[in-house]
Amino acid sequence: MTESRPLNVVIVEDEAILAMELENMLEDAGHVTVGWATCLSEAEELLREVSADLALVDIHLSDGITGIEVADLFRRHTGAPVVFMTANPKLLPEDFAGAVGVIAKPYTSIGVMAMIDYLQQAISAPPPSVSQPNGLTLAPDYRERWSA
Amino acid sequence: MEQRDAWRITDRLNAEHGKGDPFAAAVRATRMAMIITDPRLPDNPITFANDAFLQMTGYSREEVMGRNCRFLQGPDTDRAEVARIREAIERREDVSVDILNYRQDGSTFWNALYISPVINEDGELQFYFASQLDVTDRKMNEFQVSADKDRFERAVAERTRELELSNRDLAAALELRTTLLHEVDHRVKNNMQIIASLISMQLRTIPDEGIRASLTTTLSRVEAMSTVHRRFYQSGDVSRFDVSEFVRDLVSDLVIATGRQDIRTDLDLEAIDVPADKAAPLALMVNEVLTNAIKHGFPQERGGTIRTVVRRDGTTCRITIVDDGHGMSEDVKTRPSYGRKLVERLGRQLQARTTWADANPGTRVEIAMPIEQRRRGS
């Protein structure tokens, strides 16, 4: 995995501590956090400024349950895969609103790292060779596409 | 004609009961009030009234003879019923009505009135024959029943409305409760995440290996609790918790965290729902035992397998963790570590029995916990 290109990641999370630690974890794994948004409008702004390979999106943001809308924006404007990170996965529609999958909070650092490794492989050379990490639940269409 | 005269004669002669015409005598003596009217005379007057009629109405014979029956009506008599009688008489049909009548003294009674025309062989109308029965008691009962029924129906309607209102209140309260539960659940999960992140970030700033190891252990304990909370409310029942789902996550997380490829896991898990309040202490116990197995069983360069079994044994939840590693040194066995103390104390809280044994090679730990909390002393 060290040979793979580092990912440019956008974090959409209204809790500063969580965003900070996610940034640390991504950095440890050799990736780059290119932006942080806490609400829909900040996410819209971010979209115009940066290009991302992956977006980690909380559903409950500072302006309400706008994460699903944020994910939709990213998908349409950048085509970058979105992973939801939420304490309430039940809020998601059945098709995960076009996202790759969801990580349920509270996640563990191990869970997040495993998810990043998996996604990096899945994005750069699908289907991924490492097995799907515990904490990650894939959206139905990705489950089909990536099941080795 | 003869018949008609016979009536008049018996009436006029005021003959004793049983004498003369036996039919006339029977009509005179019966306890049922009876009258005869003559429609061929102006205004269809009464031409005969028996004693029972006089008794019922309170009038004397002189007062009733030659008068139309309408003197029995009064202000509260139903005009529609009176009209029915009039129409039947005009059509020469018989008629049966319950009608409110007035006695001579002004008091009222309910009269079950039956009127029928008497027509001779030539088809000529001769008399009207009318019988009367005082049915005040029956009428009062009917009114009472009807009033009771109305009152009952009103009460039922009222109660139904109250129930509907309180059902609506209950539904609203339940919805509020569910919303609050989700809100609190969401907040707990977020806060667990924040606590873990704070420890994690602190850890990055510490160069000292000893302190790092200590903080890592703390983080592992917090994350074991996070794993519990992540599993909460994922099933429909908020009061129960599946031990096996949790153990699966925990084993996987802990072994991946070592970064070691030479430690294999072997899971044999049966779904067991335990009360939700047991989840966190049980998770911490299992976390300690697993961490111990990895740390003491598989030091550097020694790989092996950790087998974890979750079984229901009657009312007991049995969790067995066996490693084929190095085995605990005498030093580890005898030295009361903080982790070991944690397991013993949490075991007491859960009324669980924990046994540590040599597995030759490795160590075997069994946690036997009653699924439902036993009352003290039982």
The pair of three-digit structure tokens given for residue B3, joined into one six-digit string: 């018949």
Q: Which residues of chain A are within 8 Å of residue B247 when distances are taken between CB atoms?
A: none
What does the alpha-carbon distance between residue A54 and residue A119 come to, in Å, rounded to a whole number?
Answer: 9
Of chain A residues 81-140, which have a CB less than 8 A from chain B?
87-89, 104-111, 114, 133-135
- B248 close to A (CB below 8 A): yes
Q: A42-52: string of b/e by CB count within 10 Å (b at 16+)?
A: bbeebbeeeeb
Average pLDDT of chain B, as a whole number: 88
Residue B15 has pLDDT above 50, yes or no: no
Q: Which of B228, B231, B243 is nearest to B371 (CA)?
A: B243
A113, A9 in Cβ contact below 8 A? no
Question: Closest chain B residue to A17 measured between Cα atoms?
Answer: B194
The residue among B181, B197, B202, B250 with the most chain A CBs within 10 A of its CB, best to mutate, is B197
Q: What is the arithmetic mean of pLDDT over B233-251?
A: 83
Nearest CA in chain B to A106: B193
Nearest Cβ partner for A106 among B230, B252, B256: B230
* Statement: the pTM of the whole predicted model exceeds 0.80: no
Residue B36's nearest CA partner among B111, B115, B123 is B115
Q: Which residues of chain A have pLDDT under 70?
A: 1-4, 148
Q: Residue B11: which pLDDT band, with cuts at 50, 70 and 90?
A: low
Chain-chain contact of A109 with B200 (C-beta, under 8 angstroms): yes
Structure confidence by residue, pLDDT tens digits, B38-52: 999 999 999 999 999
Work out the angle at residue B190's Cα, subtended by the Cα atoms of residues B186 and B194, and round it to the nearest 5 degrees.
170
- Inter-chain touch B223–A24, beta carbons under 8 Å: no
Angle CA B185–A66–A59, to nearest 5 = 40
State the number of CA atoms in the 13 A half-sphere of B33 facing the CB.
18
- Judge whether residue B304 has pLDDT over 50: yes
ipTM for this prediction? 0.84
Overall average pLDDT of the B96-113 stretch? 93
Taking CA–CA distances from B249, the nearest residue in chain A reads: A134
The pLDDT of B103-107, averaged and rounded, is 93
CB contacts, 8 Å: B253 with chain A: 108, 110-111, 134
- Which backbone phi and psi does B223 adopt, to 5 degrees? -70, -30
Torsion of CA B368, B371, B374, B378, to 10 degrees: -60
Quick one: pLDDT band at residue B9, thresholds 50, 70, 90?
Answer: very low
Q: Encoding tokens for residue A10?
A: 């956008």
**B156 min Cα distance to partner chain A (Å):** 43
Question: Can you give the pLDDT at residue A3?
Answer: 53
Q: Which residues of B touch A131 (CB under 8 A)?
A: none
pLDDT value, residue B301: 79
Place of tokens 């080795």: A148
Q: Is the pLDDT of residue B229 over 50?
A: yes
Residue B295 is given by DSSP the state I
Structure tokens at B307: 């087998």
Confidence of residue B107 (pLDDT cuts 50, 70, 90): very high
Dump pLDDT digits (tens) for B64-86. Answer: 999 999 999 999 999 999 999 99
- Is B257 within 8 Å of A110 when comparing Cβ atoms? yes
Whether B19 shows a pLDDT value over 70: the answer reads no
Give the lowest-confidence range in B28-42, B47-61, B216-230, B363-377. B363-377
Element (H, E) at B235: none
What percent of chain A clears pLDDT 90, i.e. is strictly above it? Answer: 43
Q: What average pLDDT score do residues B212-241 get?
A: 85
Which residues in chain A are contacts of B197 at CB distance < 8 A? 17-18, 20-21
User: B256-300 pLDDT, tens per residue?
Assistant: 888 888 999 999 999 999 998 899 999 999 999 999 899 888 888
